[in-house]
């Protein structure tokens, strides 16, 4: 059996669905092939204990690009009604907390109880960082240029010009500051901006989350700016919890793609990409079914796409080496807890709690990861989605979705089973110290270490960004120098996932950019005919 489509999209993750929706809207005949039984990829809600549901991988929405939400009519589908914004609370070792919200005065007062100076400085300092990140974020929905200037087309040159202009518009001081901090480590930047351990620790956490980097590693400020860009006009302005968990977004995108005419096939795992005469001609599903298409766009990560789905012998040696050597050492584990009620004070205020009381706490946690071990004393992000949507847990009960940093994919002597056990033990011990009695409230738990993210969600190395967000793996170097335009070396094969520019987070930007480039190519092919 063999079906023919204009485009076959591998993976119904959020980027795959965004690409599918754009292509289908433009009139292409599109099929999305998803291995799992539900669309959404890493934006998925699932039950981990009877009656308890949780966002299985990504658990906060902050980066979805407003233009994509608009283009795909997500507002009409009801996305914004279902979103609950949340601030962040930094948990302090003495049981206190700092509340960071959009209310600058309240934030300042809250920080002021720990350090008046930081309270006074915080809002302006963060606003500046968001402003700086915004100048870079302007490239989110554009195709990166080639570093060989001559090979860029007019459109790319104009976009580069506009980018240069946006940098100029920052003004001299901000531009200097941006160039100064761009490659820096966050520990030094935090020292420049703040004095209290609590605020510095929080900043260190935000800057290292999701990267195999400690606060003193270079490029952590870039990782911070990357996250902060979602707090400006290129994102949603803050953290949000969708009703029904992140799966709601996955479902909504699937609905948008379906409405536009894309066919979404679930439980249709792709075995390999079909290459005929050195051109991608479609995909072969597990079981042998061929799905033929003029465009094959993979929203799987670059390693999964190019090392696993493409048979050996189709790609050049040095290119493959670059792909093999992408830094994909995922180091965040997830803990899901079914709780019989919340600890005192957790029901009020922010639904996102961070425990990273000082820079050295995060750095020491990273030291363990550096040597291939699970952090002895982790930094934690605790999200309480059942506060935003009580239907996620039975009445009176709650769920906690916790990021445990660091639990590296590359373990030295620890077995994955031991790592799972250690993550749960050490995570609960850390929480118990902050909220005595919480251990006794745990009704059920689930731990997903990077190995599980790889095996259950197809994320190579358990790296949720499809490759770390560091300067050497971004912009025209993502996924590899010379291949930043979503076209992979095999003609007809495209990358539309987070492994391509602009990278991770649930933003949909890579999917939208890939769709734009595919449509340009489709027009070119049509004109050539």
Partner 1 sequence: MTHVQHLKPFLRKTPFHGPMEALMHGNGWIRWMGYYAPAFFDSEQSEYFAVRTGASVYDVSPLIKYSIRGRDAARFMDYLVTRDMTKAKPMQVVYTAWCDDDGRMIEEGTVFRLAENDFILNAALHQLHWLEEAAYGFDVAIEEISEQVCGLSLQGPTSREILKLLGVAGIERLAHFSILETTIDGRWLRIDRAGYTGDLGYELWVKPEDAIWLWETLFRLGDPYKIAPIGSLALDMTRIEAGFILVDADYIGAMHAIRPTQRISPYEAGIGWAVNLKKEAYFTGKRALTREKSEGLSRHILTGIEIEGRKPAAGSFLYADKAGKQELGLTTSALWSPVMKKNIAFARLPPRYAAPGQQLWIEIWYPKEQKIERSMVRCWTRNRMFFDPPRKKQ
Q: Which stretch binds partner 1 (CB under 8 A): 110-118, 233-241, 258-266, 304-312?
A: 304-312
CA dist., res. 174 & res. 297, Å (int): 39
Task: Tell me: does residue 528 bind partner 1 (CB under 8 A).
Answer: no
Q: Which stretch binds partner 1 (CB under 8 A): 79-87, 316-324, 337-345, 384-392?
A: 316-324
CA dist., res. 207 & res. 189, Å (int): 11
Site string for partner 1, 461-500 (x = CB under 8 A): ----------------------------x-----------
Chain CA centroid to CA 275, Å: 30
Task: Tell me: does residue 180 bind partner 1 (CB under 8 A).
Answer: no
What's the alpha-carbon Rg for the chain, to the nearest Å? 22
Chain CA centroid to CA 119, Å: 29
Q: Which of these, 16, 50, 15, lies nearest to 33 by C-alpha position?
A: 16
> At CA 521, angle to CA 282 and CA 515, rounded to 5?
75
Bridge partners (DSSP) of residue 126 are none
Q: Which stretch binds partner 1 (CB under 8 A): 101-109, 125-133, 307-315, 466-474?
A: 307-315
Q: Which is nearer to partner 1, 314 or 456 (CB)?
A: 314
Binding residue for partner 1 (CB under 8 A) from 316, 412, 527, 529? 316
CB of 318 to partner 1, least distance (A): 4
Binding residue for partner 1 (CB under 8 A) from 80, 321, 439, 524? 321
Do residues 485 and 143 make contact, with C-beta atoms less than 8 angstroms apart? Answer: yes
**Range list of β-strands (E), 77-211:** 83-86, 88-91, 97-100
Task: Tell me: does residue 348 bind partner 1 (CB under 8 A).
Answer: no
Q: How many CB atoms lie within 10 A of CB 288?
A: 8
Task: Tell me: does residue 439 bind partner 1 (CB under 8 A).
Answer: no
Binding residue for partner 1 (CB under 8 A) from 320, 428, 433, 444? 320
Task: Tell me: does residue 313 bind partner 1 (CB under 8 A).
Answer: yes
Site string for partner 1, 357-396 (x = CB under 8 A): ----------------------------------------
Instruction: Give the count of residues interacting with partner 1 (CB under 8 A).
Output: 16
- Alpha carbon separation from 22 to 137, 305, 411, 508 (Å, rounded): 21, 21, 40, 11
The answer for 184, left when phi > 0, alpha when psi is -120 to 50, beta otherwise, is beta
Q: Which stretch binds partner 1 (CB under 8 A): 88-96, 320-328, 449-457, 506-514?
A: 320-328
Q: Which is nearer to partner 1, 276 or 344 (CB)?
A: 276
Element (H, E) at 336: strand 332-339
Q: Which stretch binds partner 1 (CB under 8 A): 315-323, 340-348, 371-379, 456-464?
A: 315-323
- Applying CB under 8 A, which residues contact partner 1? 275, 278, 307, 311-321, 324, 489
């Amino acid at each position: 059996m063999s079906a023919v489509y204009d485009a076959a999209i591998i993976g119904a993750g959020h980027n795959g669905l965004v690409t599918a929706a754009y292509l289908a809207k433009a009139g292409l005949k599109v099929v999305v092939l998803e291995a799992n039984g539900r669309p959404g990829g890493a934006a998925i809600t699932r039950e981990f204990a009877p009656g308890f549901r949780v966002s299985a991988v990504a658990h906060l929405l902050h980066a979805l690009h407003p233009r994509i939400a608009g283009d795909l009519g997500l507002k009409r589908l009801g996305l914004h009604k279902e979103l609950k914004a949340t601030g962040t609370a930094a948990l302090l070792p003495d049981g206190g907390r700092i509340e960071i919200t959009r209310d600058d005065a309240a934030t300042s007062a809250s920080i002021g109880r720990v350090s008046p100076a930081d309270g006074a400085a915080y809002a302006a300092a963060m606003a500046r960082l968001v402003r700086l990140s915004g100048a870079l974020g302007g490239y989110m929905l554009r195709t990166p240029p080639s570093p060989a200037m001559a090979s860029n087309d007019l459109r790319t040159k104009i976009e580069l010009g506009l980018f240069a202009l946006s940098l100029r518009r920052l003004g001299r001081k901000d531009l200097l500051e941006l160039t100064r901090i761009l490659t820096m480590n966050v520990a030094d930047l935090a020292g420049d901006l703040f004095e209290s351990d609590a605020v510095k620790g929080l900043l260190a956490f935000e800057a290292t989350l999701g990267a195999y980097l400690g606060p003193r590693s270079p490029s952590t400020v870039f990782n911070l700016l990357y996250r902060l860009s979602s707090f400006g006009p290129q994102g949603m302005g803050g953290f949000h919890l969708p009703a029904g968990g992140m799966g709601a977004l996955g479902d909504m995108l699937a609905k948008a793609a379906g409405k536009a005419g894309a066919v979404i096939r679930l439980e249709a795992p792709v075995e390999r990409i079909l290459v005929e005469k050195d051109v991608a001609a479609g995909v072969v599903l597990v079981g042998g079914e061929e799905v033929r298409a003029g465009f094959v766009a993979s929203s799987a990560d670059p390693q999964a796409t190019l090392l696993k789905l493409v048979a050996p012998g189709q790609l050049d040696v040095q290119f493959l080496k670059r792909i093999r050597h992408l830094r994909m050492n995922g180091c965040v584990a997830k803990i899901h807890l079914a709780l019989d009620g919340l600890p005192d004070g957790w029901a009020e205020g922010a639904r996102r709690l961070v425990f990273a009381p000082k820079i050295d706490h995060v750095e020491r946690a990273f030291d363990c990861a550096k040597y291939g071990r699970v952090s002895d004393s982790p930094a934690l992000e605790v999200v309480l989605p059942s506060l935003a949507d009580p239907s996620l847990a039975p009445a009176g009960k709650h769920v906690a979705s916790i990021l445990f940093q660091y639990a590296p994919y590359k373990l030295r002597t620890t077995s994955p089973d031991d790592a799972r056990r250690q993550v749960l033990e050490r995570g609960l011990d850390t929480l118990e110290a902050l909220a005595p009695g919480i251990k006794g409230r745990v009704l059920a738990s689930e731990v997903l270490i990077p190995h599980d993210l790889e095996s259950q969600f197809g994320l190579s190395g358990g790296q949720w960004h499809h490759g770390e967000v560091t300067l050497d793996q971004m912009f025209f170097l993502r996924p590899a120098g010379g291949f930043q335009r979503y076209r992979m070396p095999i003609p007809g094969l495209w990358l539309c996932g987070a492994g391509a520019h602009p990278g991770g987070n649930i933003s949909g930007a890579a999917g939208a950019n890939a769709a734009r480039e595919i449509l340009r190519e489709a027009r070119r092919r049509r004109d050539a005919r």
